[in-house]
Amino acid sequence: MDISYYLVLSALLFATGAIGVLIRRSPLVILLCLELMLNAGNLALLAFSRSLADQQGQVLALVVMVVAACEVVVGLGLIVAAYRRKLPLNVDEFRTLRG
C-alpha cells in the first residue's frame, strides 16, 4: 500500500475534525474532535516513519499521545468544574475572556 494513501487518509480525518470543531458547540464534543485531529497527525507521523524506515517518528507519536492525554484530563476537569457551577455548557456562552 503506498504511503501517500495513508497521508491522504490522515488529511481527510484532520479535515473532519476541523469541521467538527467549527460546527459543534458542546465543549465535550469539541474535545473529541480535537482528538480526531491529533490522531490524524499521529497517522501521518507513523506513515512518514515507515516511509523513511526510521523509528524516531514513532517516539514523536508517543509524545503526541501523552500531550493528548494531558489535554483531555485538563479539558474534562474544566467541563466538570463548569457543570458544578451550573454554567451553560456551550462554547458560545463562555465569553468572559473575550477582549
Cβ-proximal residues to 99 (8 Å cutoff; 6+ apart), any chain: none
Which of helix, strand or coil describes residue 99?
Answer: coil
The nearest distance, CB 97 to another protein, in angstroms, is 16
| Per-residue x/- track, 9-28, another protein (CB under 8 A) | x-xxxxxxxxxx-xxxxx-x
Tell me if 94 contacts another protein by CB under 8 A: no
Residue whose entry in the numeric block shows the C-alpha cell 480526531 = 36
Residue 38: all three cell numbers together: 491529533
Site residues for another protein, 19-78, by CB under 8 A, read 19-20, 22-26, 28-29, 31-33, 35-36, 39, 42-43, 46-47, 49-53, 55-56, 58-59, 61-63, 65-74, 76-78
The full length of the chain comes to 99
